[in-house]
Amino acid sequence: MNAKSLASAFTFQKLELLQKQAKTLEEAKCRPASMELRSVSWGPNANKSLVKSVSLQVKPAEFLAIVGPNGSGKTSLLRCLYRINQPSQGQVFLDGESLWDLSAHDCAKRIATVLQDAPGDLGLSVFDMVEIGLTPKSHTWRRSKSDSALIEEAMSLMNVEHLAHRLFSTLSGGERQRVLIARALAQRPDVLILDEPTNHLDIRHQLELLDLLAKLPCTLIISLHDLSLASTYADRVLIMQDGEMQACSAPSQAFTEQSIKQVFDVDTVIDCHPITQRPRFSFYL
């Protein structure tokens, strides 16, 4: 089978795998969760705030994309959402319950994260890395047949099953990213938070990844540099600048020539993509 046929076979199987993943999530009693930020501020010290009084609600099963220039506070805001940065002011809620009233273990059961910087020299195989995703919901170290099936399914979704016995440290940046996302999928999360997940991926894998994520039965909160990807896949877009929320609405409302000029300091011609019917951008200086 040639490379083109293999790619077609993978695309054909992906929907079936997604349906299996959705069934697994349902059987595990996972449910998309809501998240809310109420006047959240955070900084490394009392004299510096990297997130400034952000308030928003993320609905269950919503796909929220966070965009903004480097240093705008995207990563710091995400860290508030997965219980690393405790807000200096305000509160974060998961299904109406304060995130910091929950234990770290309870949060890990419901929130999965994929970060930009992945540890590379742990001496673990790809299978072992994905298996870690089962840990928050496991009551024993012994893996059942259904556990192994879940790991293999997550690897298949991300097209890394052929790497199962490779050391994680020997993979390329793009391969590592896909393995880490497979680990998050194996966790069966209610909320999936990803920080720049398309970094290191080529165009096809970027599109396949976001197409896959958009179909998952969980709440998605994802930071992205690429405005076109955010426009194509997100239900709403949160635009950040200097730690402040500039807009949070549907891509067609959030992305205007004026808002892009103000936040990113580039000029833009915006038209409608002929296939997706979402805003499409042509940037110039």
pLDDT tens digits for range 172-217: 888 888 999 999 999 889 999 999 999 888 999 899 899 989 988 8
Domain residues for 102?
3-284
- What is the dihedral sign for C-alpha 17, 58, 231, 266? negative
Which tens digit of pLDDT belongs to each residue from 97-146?
Answer: 999 999 998 999 999 999 887 666 678 999 999 999 988 776 555 667 77
pLDDT band at 9 (very low <50, low <70, confident <90, very high): very low
Report the amino acid identity of residue 59: K
For residue 111, the SS3 value is strand
- What is the dihedral sign for C-alpha 223, 285, 276, 256? positive
Instruction: For residues 216 and 18, give the distance between their C-alpha atoms in angstroms, rounded to a whole number.
Output: 7
Length of the chain: 285
Report the pLDDT value the prediction gives residue 20, as an integer from 0 to 100. Answer: 57
pLDDT band at 166 (very low <50, low <70, confident <90, very high): very high
Which tens digit of pLDDT belongs to each residue from 56-81?
Answer: 999 999 999 999 999 999 999 999 99
Which tens digit of pLDDT belongs to each residue from 212-271?
Answer: 899 888 999 999 999 999 999 999 999 999 999 999 999 999 999 999 999 999 999 999
Q: Which CATH number does the domain housing residue 230 bear?
A: 3.40.50.300
How many domains does the chain contain in total? 1
Which tens digit of pLDDT belongs to each residue from 13-48?
Answer: 555 655 555 555 445 456 899 999 999 999 999 889
Report the pLDDT value the prediction gives residue 18, as an integer from 0 to 100. Answer: 56
